[in-house]
Amino acid sequence: MIRIGIYGYGNLGRGVESAIGQNPDMELVGVFTRRDPKTVSAKAPVYRAEDAISMQDKIDVMILCGGSATDLPVQTPLLAEHFNVIDSFDTHAKIPSHFTAVDEKAKKGGKVGVISVGWDPGLFSLMRLYGGAVLPEGESYTFWGKGVSQGHSDAIRRIEGVVDARQYTVPVEKALSAVRSGENPVLTTREKHTRECFVVAEEGADTARIEKEIKEMPNYFSDYDTTVHFISMEELRANHSGLPHGGMVIRAGKTGDGSKHTVEYALKLDSNPAFTSSVLCAYARAAYRLQKEGKSGCMTVLDIAPKYLSPENVETLRATLL
Amino acid sequence: MIRIGIYGYGNLGRGVESAIGQNPDMELVGVFTRRDPKTVSAKAPVYRAEDAISMQDKIDVMILCGGSATDLPVQTPLLAEHFNVIDSFDTHAKIPSHFTAVDEKAKKGGKVGVISVGWDPGLFSLMRLYGGAVLPEGESYTFWGKGVSQGHSDAIRRIEGVVDARQYTVPVEKALSAVRSGENPVLTTREKHTRECFVVAEEGADTARIEKEIKEMPNYFSDYDTTVHFISMEELRANHSGLPHGGMVIRAGKTGDGSKHTVEYALKLDSNPAFTSSVLCAYARAAYRLQKEGKSGCMTVLDIAPKYLSPENVETLRATLL
């Protein structure tokens, strides 16, 4: 049995907890939280985050479920010296420096740290790699959605007069069709995705001003065609309480004889955090096995042979999957 | 530069030849054939197959382009002792014994042999593995087509009175929809695919008898709903001369919280051999690098970390793909 610890117990931590139950070779040893453990109820004992390191001998892999902004840059290197670790660090520009920090500590401790695991970065990164390698003459396209962007929803919530909000990223059908047809179009940000916002405003708030602030918000909305709907809290709760997401990675290219090919990988996810958690567990298995084989240091999904993800032995995989 | 040899010069061999031209880190050193080399014209010197072993020092990876029935079971182990080798062996039931034979010889020679490379087995095998690992509670489905099955076309050609034939495997739209919806249906062979045959008969041949023989042919057609069209040679040449193929691997499952997810990988290929050749080249790069790192023995796509397939270094891959 692979003994798992969960470090950080929000949406993602709870997702990992239930994903462990689907993997017969894993057991949850403990949940580590910055809150008062007495106030947290989980399917395993709950410990204070600062007590984690003292449990080094009881946990094979620590799955970090904190946020990329401030939690993981500190926590993953810290814990990588003492545990095999997995995180879902997704601040793209900082991945190289995060890698270096985790690599140093993991090597020092003789552990394996796998960073930036999930579906993007993660499975989508894999598909961009495989697509580019098997069709070197071509273009790769990534579309996200239809799904809830938590970052964009949060950005709307910070506007004065907004009580709650949900933002959907929606791929543009016309752009998708052009890509699938093998035309290899050059697409602007605006041409690839639209943004649809469902906003609950305070009573008496100036909705015209809120809508303008959303649509003009740099980085988040100003480069997109954005639609804003003001709805009631009841409607938000009834119709927009989930966190569905997904998307597509498409590689379209030509082989040397001039014939055209498209490779498309598509995810349709009812719950973004539940699926991400499930991917984290598969890579926890890989980290455990790789460290048992004597490996140490930081890795990403690009460094890990597929066989390490499956609970089956490789002879069975060869006989059943090839 | 990775110095490549091509062993066997049919559709697949010519595909590898043009794929090498798309990979700037590869050069074609020679083509090896059982025909008289004087009768074969290629983009590199043509040698007799039996002279291959004497060129051990000039070739880094030999890509085997023979057939799975009789060529590869002999050739891949033979050459694996002297070269890093890649093949597209696809006789499913014999993969474990082929693996053992290649593994023994490759280890003896300190070389890496990668077998069963292509899209199925190959990329589709990878997708079945990733899908099962990230959604352990679910079902995997593989659909092939719409595309030309060369084995089925050949089977029709063996019937008396048939001059030429092309058989398309076609996924059943209703089955696909059911799988995509997450219903996880149990599907019979007949429910998943239909078979559509375009047949050129000899003048005066008994087409009713030919149609009956096709539809009742065990293993190939009797378990399917099969349609037979008799056409002229001109029509066959005009409309059915290509070898398009493709298909889908779909994993549909639930995470521990009960939410549903589907993962779909789809290929649309204008030319089956051209695309397969391109995949062979990407894995030739991997074999070369793995052997340089000191690895030896037989491997499959399941054993090879994605990063080995790309000509880019891993720092660039991390910065651009994650």
Contacts of A287 in chain B (CB under 8 A): none
pLDDT of res. A225: 97
Residues 6+ apart with CB under 8 A from A225: A190, A194, A195
Residue B63, phi then psi, degrees to nearest 5: -100, 120
* Torsion angle of C-alpha atoms A67, A68, A74, A78, degrees rounded to 10: 80
* Phi (first) and psi of residue B146, to 5 degrees: -65, 130
Could you report the per-residue pLDDT of B97-126, keeping only the tens digit for each?
999 999 999 999 999 999 999 999 999 999
Q: Among B14, B128, B322, whose Cβ lies nearest the Cβ of A321?
A: B128
Report pLDDT for A122. Answer: 98
> pLDDT value at position A306?
98
Q: For A278, which of B126, B255, B279 is closest by C-beta distance?
A: B255
Predicted confidence band at B275 (pLDDT cuts at 50, 70, 90)? very high
Q: Which residue of A has its CA nearest to B115?
A: A322
Give pTM, 2 decimals.
Answer: 0.97
User: Taking Cα atoms as reference points, which of A9, A58, A11 lies closest to residue A34?
Assistant: A9
- Min CA distance, B202 vs chain A (Å)? 32
Region for A276 from its dihedrals, namely left if φ exceeds 0, alpha if ψ lies in -120 to 50, beta otherwise: alpha
CB contacts of A280 in chain B (<8 Å) are none
Taking contacts as CB-CB distances below 8 angstroms, the residues of chain A near B126 are 130, 306
Question: How much is the pLDDT for B263?
Answer: 98
Q: What percent of chain B has pLDDT over 70?
A: 100
What is the sign of the dihedral through the CA atoms of A148, A150, A152 and A155?
A: positive
Residues of B in contact with A282 (CB under 8 A): 133-134
Q: How far apart are CA B258 and CA B15, in angstroms?
A: 46
Q: Report helix, strand or coil for A287.
A: helix
Cβ(B60)–Cβ(B288) below 8 Å:
yes
Q: Can you tell me the mean pLDDT for B37-64?
A: 97
Helices (H), chain A: 11-20, 71-80, 95-109, 123-134, 150-157, 173-180, 189-192, 207-215, 233-239, 272-292, 314-321
Tens-digit pLDDT profile for residues A242-296: 999 999 999 999 999 999 999 999 999 999 999 999 999 999 999 999 999 999 9
Asked if A18's CB is within 8 angstroms of B255's CB, the reply is yes
Q: What's the pLDDT at A165?
A: 98
Q: What's the pLDDT band for A111 if we cut at 50, 70, 90?
A: very high
Per the CB < 8 A criterion, the answer to whether A199 and A176 are in contact is no
User: What is the distance in angstroms between the Cα of B207 and the nearest Cα belonging to chain A?
Assistant: 34
Q: Which residues of chain A does B96 touch, with a Cβ-Cβ cutoff of 8 Å?
A: 315, 318-319
- CB contacts, 8 Å: B311 with chain A: 136
Are A262 and A180 in contact, with CB atoms under 8 Å apart? yes
Mutate one of A134, A241, A293 to test the B interface: name it (highest B CB count within 10 A).
A134
**Chain A to chain B Cβ contacts (< 8 Å):** 226
Chain B residue with the nearest C-alpha to that of A310: B133
Cis preceding linkage at A171, omega within 30? no
Nearest C-alpha in A relative to B16: A256
pLDDT in tens, A127-180: 999 999 999 999 999 999 999 999 999 999 999 999 999 999 999 999 999 999
Q: How many whole angstroms separate alpha carbon A292 and alpha carbon B209?
A: 63
Nearest by CB to B121, from A282, A307, A322: name it. Answer: A322
Instruction: Tell me the pLDDT of chain A averaged across its residues.
Output: 97
Q: Which of B19, B129, B321 sits opposite A321 (nearest CB)?
A: B129
Q: Binning pLDDT at 50, 70 and 90, where does residue A76 land?
A: very high
Supply φ then ψ for residue A124, to 5 degrees.
-65, -35
Residues of A in contact with B270 (CB under 8 A): 259-261
Strand order in the sheet with A225-230: A147-148, A162-171, A193-201, A225-230
Q: Find the mean pLDDT for residues A19-37.
A: 97
Residue (of A111, A72, A114) closest to A89 by Cα position: A72
Alpha helices in chain B (DSSP H): 11-20, 72-80, 95-109, 123-134, 150-157, 173-180, 189-192, 207-215, 233-239, 272-292, 314-321
Question: Residue A129 is nearest to which of B22, B257, B321, comparing CB atoms?
Answer: B321
Between chains, do A19 and B304 touch, taking CB under 8 Å as contact?
Answer: no
**pLDDT single digits (tens) A189-213:** 999 999 999 999 999 999 999 999 9
Residues with Cβ within 8 Å of A206's Cβ and at least 6 positions away in sequence, in order, are: A161
Q: Do A274 and B257 touch (CB under 8 A)?
A: yes
Alpha-carbon distance values, B69 to B72, B85, B91, B94, B300 (Å): 7, 18, 7, 10, 19
Which residues in chain B are closer than 8 Å to A241, comparing Cβ atoms? none
Summary count for chain B: helices (H), strands (E): 11, 14
Burial class (CB in 10 A: 0-12, 13-18, 19+), A207: middle
Q: Which residues of A touch B282 (CB under 8 A)?
A: 133-134
> What would the DSSP string read from start to end of A192-257?
HEEEEEEEEEPTT--HHHHHHHHHT-TTTTTTSEEEEEE--HHHHHHHS-S--EEEEEEEEEE-TT
Contact assignment for A129 to B309 by CB distance below 8 Å? yes
- Strand-pairing partners, residue A83, are none
Smallest CA–CA distance from A251 into chain B, residue: B267
Residue B40 carries which DSSP code? -
Q: Which chain B positions have a beta carbon within 8 Å of A301's beta carbon?
A: 306, 322
**Chain A residues with CB inside 8 Å of B315's CB?**
96
For range B71-81, the mean pLDDT: 98
Among A137, A172, A296, A134, CA closest to B265: A134
Residue owning tokens 């001369």: B241
C-alpha–C-alpha distance, residues B152 and B223, integer Å: 13
* The pLDDT value given to residue B286: 98
Option in A133, A306, A317 nearest B310 (CB): A133
Amino acid at A199: V
Report the 10 Å Cβ neighbour count for A200: 21
Contact B95 A318 (CB under 8 A): yes
Note whether A185 and A179 are within 8 A (CB). Answer: yes
CA distance B73 to A122: 37
For A18, which of B99, B256, B306 is closest by C-beta distance? B256
B31 CB-near residues (< 8 Å, 6+ apart): B5, B6, B9, B13, B17, B40, B42, B44, B45, B46, B47
Cα separation of A282 and A301, whole Å? 11
Q: Token match 């050749």: residue?
A: B277
Point out the residue among B270, B314, B319 whose CB comes nearest to the CB of A259: B270
> Rounded mean pLDDT of A291-318?
98
What CA–CA distance (Å, rounded) separates B62 from A34?
56
Query: Distance (Å) from the C-alpha of residue B55 to the closest C-alpha of chain A?
Result: 26
Please tell me the distance from the alpha carbon of residue A191 to that of residue A173, in angstroms, as a whole number: 10
Q: Are B84 and B62 in contact (CB under 8 A)?
A: yes
User: Which of B261, B303, B306 faces A126 most closely, judged by CB atoms?
Assistant: B306
Q: Tell me, what's the pLDDT at A101? A: 98
Q: Which of B95, B257, B265, B299 to mutate to test the interface with A (most CBs of A within 10 A)?
A: B257
* H/E segment holding residue A2: strand A2-7
Measured between CA atoms, how close is A151 to chain B, in angstroms?
18
In whole angstroms, give the CA distance from residue A208 to residue A224: 18
Q: Give residue B146's pLDDT band: very low, low, confident or very high (50, 70, 90).
A: very high
The whole-number pLDDT of residue A23 equals 98
**Reported confidence tier of residue A214, pLDDT bands at 50, 70, 90:** very high
Q: What is the mean pLDDT of residues A97-107?
A: 98
CA pair distance B125, B311, nearest whole angstrom: 22
Percent of chain A with pLDDT over 90: 100
Q: How do strand B162-171 and strand B193-201 relate by DSSP bridges?
A: antiparallel
Contact B136 A311 (CB under 8 A): yes
Distance from CA of B6 to the nearest CA of A (A): 16
Are residues B261 and A269, on separate chains, in Cβ contact within 8 Å?
Answer: yes
**CB proximity list for B231: less than 8 A, separation 6 or greater:** B198, B199, B200
CA angle (A261, A265, A271) in 5-degree steps? 165
A130 to B262: CB separation less than 8 angstroms, yes or no? no
